[in-house]
Amino acid sequence: MQNRITSLFDIQYPIIQGGMIWASGWRLASAVSNAGGLGLIGAGSMYPEVLLKHIQKCKKATDKPFGVNIPMLYPDIDQLMDIIVREGVKIVFTSAGNPKTWTSYLKEKGITVVHVVSSVKFALKAQEAGVDAIVAEGFEAGGHNGRDETTTLVLIPAVNEKVTIPLIAAGGIGTGQQMLAAMVLGADGVQVGSRFVASDEASSHIAFKHEVVKAKEGDTQLTLKELAPVRLLKNKFYHDVQQAYADGASVDRLKEVLGRARAKKGMFEGDLEEGELEIGQVSTLIHTIKPAAEIVAQLIAEFNDAKASVTKLQ
C-alpha cells in the first residue's frame, strides 16, 4: 500500500500510532514500527533524561523508522529537541502550539515535521510554517482536543479542500473500516491512538487498559474547556469536575479540582477513581487487549475487506 504518507515516512502501511502521554513508550513505538506502521514515542509525559532512554531503547528494538511526538507547551522543550537531534531521530510530530516555533529548526536538521491540528485555520497555519504533513484530529479523539468540536467526518474533507501537503486523519479511528472511510474523505493515512492504548506494549496501567475495554457508548466526555479541553472516561474525578461546574466554579477553582499529575495517576498508576482517564469515543469498539502487531494486521485486513465490499456496491 504505497501513497504519499508511506513514501514520506518510508513505512509499509499508512498507519501512525498516536504519541499518547503515559501510553506511548519505546515498547509500543518499536512494536508498531516493526509491524509496518510508524511508531511514535509520546514525549509529553517524559523528562529529558527519560526521553533519551526511550529513544535509545527504541533504536535497539527496531531498525524501522519511528518518531517522537512533542507537545509544544512542554517546559523543557529546548532540551527535548536537543536530544532528538543528537540521537538522530528523523521524524517529529508537534502539537499544542505554534508550528512556526520549531519547524524551520527541525527541517534544517533534516527532520521530517508533522503538526497536529483540529481546524482548517490551524491546518493552513501549519502548511504555511513549512511542515511536511498535517494530522487533522476530530472531536472524537481522546486526550487533549480542539475547542470547536468538529468531527472527523467533517474535518478531514474540510482540511483536504484547503491544503496540498499530505494529510493524516485522527480521532475516532480504531478499525480498518474507519481507516478506509477517512481515506475516502481525503486523508492519505490515519493516526490511531486509543486502539493502541489497549495493547500489550502500551505503557499505560493494566487497570486502565481494562477500563478502556469495558467502555460503552457515552462513557467518555470532553470537558475542562476553560483550561485545556480533554476527553476522558467518566469516573469519580470526572463527576467531581461536573459538580464543580454545577457549583459555578471559577477557572481557579477548576484548576484546584484538576490538581497536578491527574493523567499520570489514572493512566500510568491505575487510580481509576481519582485519576484522569484519557481515551477517545472509539473505546466503545475496543473489546480486547492484544499485541500491537496484531492490531496493525487487523486494521489492514479490515481495510482490505471493507474496500472489497465497497467495490461491489451497485
Reference 241, options 255, 216, 228, 260; nearest CA is 255
Report the alpha-carbon distance of residue 83 to residue 144 in Å, rounded. 25
For 64-115, what is each residue's pLDDT tens digit? 999 999 998 888 899 999 999 999 999 999 988 889 999 999 999 999 999 9
How many CA atoms within 13 Å lie on the side-chain side of 1? 20
For 25-58, what is each residue's pLDDT tens digit? 999 999 999 999 999 999 988 999 999 999 999 9
Identify the pLDDT of residue 314.
62
For 166-200, what is each residue's pLDDT tens digit? 999 999 999 999 999 999 999 999 999 999 999 99
Say which residue the cell 511536511 belongs to. Answer: 132
217 C-beta neighbours (distance < 10 Å), count: 9
Q: Against a cut of 0.75, is the pTM above it? A: yes
